[in-house]
Amino acid sequence: MRVRRLTIQNFRGISSGVVDFARDTLLVGGNNAGKSTVCEALDLVLGPERLYHRPVINEHDFYKGRYLDDEGAPVEIRIEALLLDISEEAERRFHNHLRRWNDTKGCFADEEGAGPEAGDADGTCWALPVVFIGRYDEIEDDFVGNTFLAHPLNAVEIEDDEETRIGAGFRVFTRDHKRLCGFLYLRTLRTGSRALSLQRGSLLDTTLRIGGTGLEKMWQDTLERLQNLDPPIGEIDQLKKIRSEVEKRMSQFVGLAPAGEATAFFASDMTRENLREVVRFFVASEQSGHLLPFQRLGSGAINILVFALLTFIAELKEKQSVIFAMEEPEIALPPHTQRRVVRFSLREMGQTIVTSHSPYVIEQFEPEQIVMLNRGGDGTLSGKPIDTQGIRMKTFKTERKQFAEAVLSRAVLVVEGSTEAAIFSQASTVMEKARGSEKYTHFDLAGVTVFNAGGDGSVPRYGPVFMALNKQIFGFFDKLSSPLSGDATTKLASYTKYWESPHKGIENLLVEEMSVATLRRFLEKVGARPDYPLHHPHLADTMNDAEVKDLAHRLLKDRKGDAYGYGALLIAESTTEHELPNTIRTILDEINERLAPPAKKDGPAEDTQSAAAVAAENTTGPVSASEGMAIAAEP
C-alpha cells in the first residue's frame, strides 16, 4: 500500500490541511512548515503501536491547545489517510470498505453525483480511506482516540446511548489491520534509545511480532528460567542458613508451611513488563571487541543500528509492502551514509516519505517526488508535488546538488556564472560587516541560495523551475546585446525581481564601479599569490588610473570563475559598503528588504517608497540596476 492523500484537522499547529503524496515523497518546507506534524499525523492514523501510548493524545496535540469549543463541547482531531495500491489480501479483508478513486482527477469516482460508470473510467482504482478521531472525554476526564475504516458511514449499528462515542458508525481499524499496511516511522535520533529497547511498539518489539518468533511464549519462558535456576539461589549455604533462621523465628508467631518450604529466594520478581524495561541490547565494536549497552555507542552507530533493524523489518514484510516515513535521516550520519540509507529505502520500500535538511538526501529524489508544504498564519496547510513542466530532466540531473541546496532555501538568486555567484556571496559578507547584522542579514542567515545558471542567456529558463518550488526568485544577467525572445520574456515573468547589468561582462562592472584605490589594494595583494599570471605585469607606483583599471580587467578575465576566485578577492578588498559596485549593492539592498521580517524594517520605509522603486514596480522592461531601478515581476 501507499499513502496518496492525508487530510488533517485541528492537530498541533494545523487547523486544517491536505497533503498529496507521490509514490516516494520528499517533504520540504521552512522551519515550522509542518513536516514533523505530518509525520506524526501519519503515525497516529497508521502506526500499529502508536495507540500503546497513554494517553494517545493530550492537550498539546490540539490546534492552539483548544480541545473544547466556546460551548464546552469537545473539539475533534481528525486525520484521514487515503491508501492506494491495495494488495490482494487487503482487498479480501476490506472489500466492504473500499471506494473507487480517480487518481487522474484526485477525487472519489462517486463524488459530484457521478453514476456507476465513473468507477470504471481511466485512472480509477480501489482506495481504502481510514481516519483517526481523537477528543477529550469529559466523563472519564481523559483524552481518547482510535482509528477507523472511514467508508461507509454507519458500517456499525449503534445504540442511542452510543451516539456520543468516538467514531460512532465506523468500524475500528485495528492494530492487526495497521500491520497489514506496513507503516514504519523512524523519528530523529532523540527517540533512538527507545527504538532499540524491547518496550511495546519499539523496533525490536516490532521485529519480534512480525517475525513470528513465539513472542507470546518468550516472556513466560524467561520468567520461569529466572525462577527455576539450577541450583536454586535459595540453596546457597549463606542464604539457606538465613531462611532456616527466619522460618524458626516466624513460626513462633504465625503458622507457616513445613520447614524448608515456607521461604525461598528467587533471582527476580519481575513481570514481563519489567523485563521489557530492563533487557538491553549489547554491541561490541571491531576496535574494542567488548560488549557494551547500545546506548553507550556513538550517535551515528545508534542510527545505523536503527536502520539495520528497519532493513530486517522490510525483509520480514516482503519489502514492497512497507510504507516507511523517515524524519531527518542525516542526523549524526556522514554524507555517504545518508546517501546509502536513502537509496536503500527508495529501492526496497513500497513507499518512502522523508523530511530532510540535507542536500545529500534531497538530491536522491526526482523533482516530481518533491512535495512543498506551506502553512498559513491561520494554521491551514497545503502540500502538493511541485509542477515539473518547467524543469528539463537533463538540466536537473546536471545541477542536482545546486537544486538540492535551493530546495532548502527561502529565496534563490540566479546568476549567469560561477564568478557572479562568488562575487554576490562575498559582497553579502562585506555588507554584513559594514552595517552589522541588525541592519543587514547575510545570505546564509537569510536563507538565500546563489544559483549558477551556467552561461549567458540562461537565467530566464530557471524562473518557472523555482517558482514551482514556491521560492522568491531574483535574477541578475549580463547587458543584453539583442532583445529577449518571447519565451525568455515569459519565463522572466516568473521572477520576483530581476536586474540587467549596465555593463557587458562582469569584469567591466567591477572595474567601472569600484574605486581605483580599491583596485590598487587588490592588485597589490594578488601580486603575491602563486597563481598570479606571469604574462601580466605587477602593480607599479608609476601606473596611472587607466593602467590600473586595464590591468585589473585583464587579471579578472584571466582568472575568471571560482577556481581562482579573483572576482571575490576584489570584492573582499571593500572596507565599506560604498566601495562595493553600486549595481551589486542595489541588488543586495532590494533582496534584504524583501526578505527582512517586519520587525527589522524601519517604520518610514514600510510606508514610503522612492520614486525609483515606484517606477520599478510599474516598469515592463529591464532597466539598468545601477540607476536604482529593477523589474518587479510578481508571480
Q: Is the bond leading into 55 cis (omega within 30 degrees of zero)?
A: yes
Q: Is 229 helix (H, G, I), strand (E, B) or coil?
A: coil
pLDDT tens, residue by residue, 485-511: 998 999 999 999 999 999 999 999 999
**Bridge partners for 498 per DSSP:** 475, 631
**Phi, psi of 99, rounded to the nearest 5 degrees:** -145, 140
What pLDDT score was predicted for residue 500? 96
Residue ranges of the chain with pLDDT lower than 70? Answer: 112-115, 157-164, 188-195, 201, 211-216, 299-300, 317-320, 332, 387, 389-392, 598-635
| 355-407 residue pLDDT tens | 988 888 988 998 889 898 888 889 999 998 876 765 667 777 777 888 888 88
Q: Are strands 448-452 and 411-415 parallel, antiparallel or unpaired?
A: parallel
Contact between residue 634 and residue 496 where contact means Cβ atoms under 8 Å apart: yes
pLDDT, one tens digit per residue, over 156-173 is: 765 554 445 788 789 999
Write the secondary structure of 500-522 as one string of H (helix), E (strand) and C (coil).
Answer: ECCCCCHHHHHHHHCCHHHHHHH
**HEC string for 196-211:** CCCCCCCHHHHHHHHH
pLDDT of residue 220: 82
- Position 603: which residue type? G
Query: Model's pTM, two decimal places?
Result: 0.74
CB 603 within 8 A of CB 591: no
CA 428 to chain centre: 27
Cα-to-chain-centroid distance, residue 173: 28
Please report the pLDDT score of residue 609 as a whole number.
Answer: 37
Reported as a single tens digit per residue, the pLDDT across 167-192 is 878 999 998 898 888 888 877 644 45
pLDDT of residue 62: 96
Strands 448-452 and 380-385: unpaired
